[in-house]
Amino acid sequence: MHWSAGIVGTGSCLTPAGRANRDKTQGKGIRGTDIMDSYNSFHVLQQQIREAAAILNLDSATVEFLSWPQREYRFTLPVRMDDGTFRIFHGYRVQHSFARGPAKGGIRFHPDETADTIRALAGWMTWKTAIVDLPLGGGKGGVICDPRQMSERELEAVSRAYVRAVARVIGLEQDVPAPDVYTNPQTMAWMMDEYETIRGRHQPGAFTDKPLQVGGTEGRRDATGRGGVISVREACRVRGIDPRGTFAIQGFGNAGQRVALLHKQILGGRLVAACDSRGGIVSEGGIDPKELVTYKLRTGSVVGFPGATPVDRDDILEAEVDVLYPAALENAINGDNVARVQARIICELANGPTTPEADVILFEKGIHVIPDLVASAGGVTVSYFEMVQDSSRFFWTEEEVHRRLDQRISTAYHSVQKAVREKHVHPRLAAMVVGVARVAQACKLRGWVS
């Protein structure tokens, strides 16, 4: 591996721009880069749908129907703050598809949230649930706010206000939310409680990824990372790569930390590089994942980890490793840096970390991408398991959850690889072909399209 051990970046490793764009992005926040702004996520989604539809020979009415959310809501949330004043927050809930079942998707609390981002993520949830063959559609929600500047009481007030705004259009048979950026199981507990208060009955399955004590499931905390590692295991078998090789993680939040532990535990291998919002580290001799997670939780960053060399956070994407896990936000691998990407397998734990142009280049370079629609589907899969268990009031062991998750992710991975071979397309387009075909078939059987 070759590393430029220059100044450690002070911005977020979630920013997708290369080093040349760093000065432009300071002060803009984690979504404020020139490259990220040049890709409207919803437009990217619609283009992906058109490309998949062309391969499937879908008619124009079906394409138009799949290209837009079936329902979307926008609302204002008045919330009393700790100082006694009121603030008005803006919230969204987008329900992209009900063709295969109730909508399913997270709720994000983020200062730079947009309607198009929510639309795109709702659509991607539709394809993700279809690829893993869950009887669900796709949804996504968000509140424009900065949780880092709010007290716990204020966050609870925003959470409950959000539920009051959407209570009539969500629920176990309509739309089941989960956590996403800057929300967590405690957020879901508040939301579930508010929803049950409004409805006047016990409905824990209306929200997933709750604490175990109020209807959560075993195996949910590490589901996204575990699903990613399962897909990497299958990819290594297909590509003839030793899973005990080297790996790097871009983004060391919850998903990054868990995949570091699980990759080591399940596959073996050597973690050689990681980054977070303050910078990156590298150690060619290897980094102990448990020690790094402990250090991160204690200090708030991977920077300064004993025995590791500091590097620029963007260099992590260019690591010469067997497996790279992009585990931050979208568009991290793009036209500016894709030529320098050297990993043999890229496992996308983040939503849309690779731009459309980079997808094609990686495919031509022979780098095997496991698209987020498969790689990060472990979370929604175990959320579905939670819905099933809440409905039956019978809960599975952690081993049973892991077994069922392994089966779903493995099957999904190989269904996408089959489409890669048969359609001669890159993995993301192959995944879209699988997902769009299943949803389009459901729409046709319902009589929504011809």
In this predicted structure, the answer to whether residue 205 has a pLDDT above a threshold of 90 is: yes
Q: Is the pLDDT of residue 190 over 90?
A: yes
Residue 183 in domain? yes
**Within-domain flag for 52:** no
Amino acid occupying residue 336: D
Half-sphere exposure of 114 (CA within 13 A, CB side): 12
Task: For residues 359 and 310, state if they share a domain.
Answer: yes
**Residues 399-413, mean pLDDT to the nearest whole number:** 98
Residue 3 three-state SS: coil
**Residue 35 within any structural domain of the chain:** no
Secondary structure tally for the chain: helices H, strands E? 15, 12
- pLDDT of res. 181: 87
**Burial tier of 90 (Cβ tally within 10 Å: 0-12, 13-18, 19+):** middle
CA-CA distances (angstroms) from residue 36 to 43, 47, 106, 186?
A: 13, 17, 21, 30
Round to whole Å and give the CA distance between 117 and 243. 34
- What total of structural domains would you count in the chain? 2
Domain final position from 157, 191, 208:
208
Q: What CA–CA distance (Å, rounded) separates 192 from 234?
A: 36
Q: Answer yes or no: do 162 and 72 share one domain.
A: yes
Residue 1 pLDDT > 80: no
The pLDDT score that the predictor gives to residue 259 is 97
Mean pLDDT of the chain: 91
Give the per-residue pLDDT at 105.
97
Are 181 and 78 in the same domain? Answer: yes
Q: What is the DSSP string of 334-394?
A: -TTTGGG---SEEE--SSS-B-HHHHHHHHHHT-EEE-HHHHTTHHHHHHHHHHHHHHHT-
Higher pLDDT, 194 or 35: 194
- Asked if 339 and 221 sit in the same domain, the reply is yes
* pLDDT tens by residue, 81-92: 999 999 999 999
> What pLDDT, on a 0 to 100 scale, did the predictor assign at position 23?
33
199 and 230 share one domain: no
Looking up tokens 């799949």 gives 66
In a domain, 37, yes or no: no
- Give the CA count within 13 Å in the CB-facing half-sphere of 135: 6
pLDDT at 352: 85
Say what percent of the chain tops pLDDT 70.
92
Q: Strand pairing partners for 249?
A: 274, 325
Which of 144, 174, 208 terminates a domain? The answer is 208
The answer to whether the predicted template modeling score (pTM) of the entire model surpasses 0.85 is yes
Judgement on whether residues 180 and 225 belong to the same structural domain of the protein? no
Are residue 281 and residue 143 in the same domain, yes or no? Answer: no
- Whether 204 is covered by a domain: the verdict is yes
Distance CA 357, CA 32 (A): 20
Inter-residue contact 369 to 391 (CB < 8 Å): no
Please list the active-site residues.
140
Q: Which residue has the tokens 């048979």?
A: 173
How confident is the model at residue 351, as a pLDDT? 84
> What pLDDT is stored for residue 38 in this prediction?
56
Cα–Cα distance between 418 and 420 in angstroms, integer? Answer: 5
Q: Which helix (H) or strand (E) holds 246?
A: strand 246-250
**Residues 154 and 236 occupy one common structural domain:** no
CATH number at residue 78: 3.40.50.10860
pLDDT digits 0-9 by tens, 41-97 = 899 899 999 999 999 999 999 999 999 999 999 999 999 999 999 999 999 999 999
Determine the pLDDT at residue 63: 98
Residue 232 to residue 244: CA distance in whole angstroms: 11
| 15-29, 67-81, 299-313: segment of lowest average pLDDT | 15-29
Return all residues near 90 (Cβ < 8 A) that are at least 6 apart: 74, 75, 76, 77, 143, 144
Rounded-to-integer distance, Cα 240 and Cα 11, Å: 37
Contact between 362 and 346 under an 8 Å Cβ cutoff? The reply is yes
C-alpha to C-alpha distance for 47 and 44, rounded to whole angstroms: 5
Domain that holds residue 423: 1-25+217-375+398-450
Residue 406 CA to residue 423 CA, distance in Å, equals: 26
pLDDT exceeds cutoff 50 at 140 = yes
Kindly state whether residues 172 and 263 are assigned to the same domain: no
> What SS3 state is found at 167?
helix
Where is pLDDT greater, at 329 or 246? 246
State the first-to-last Cα distance of the chain, in angstroms, to the nearest integer. Answer: 54
Question: Are 127 and 230 in the same domain?
Answer: no
Q: Is the pLDDT at 32 greater than 70, yes or no?
A: no
Residue 42 located in a structural domain: no
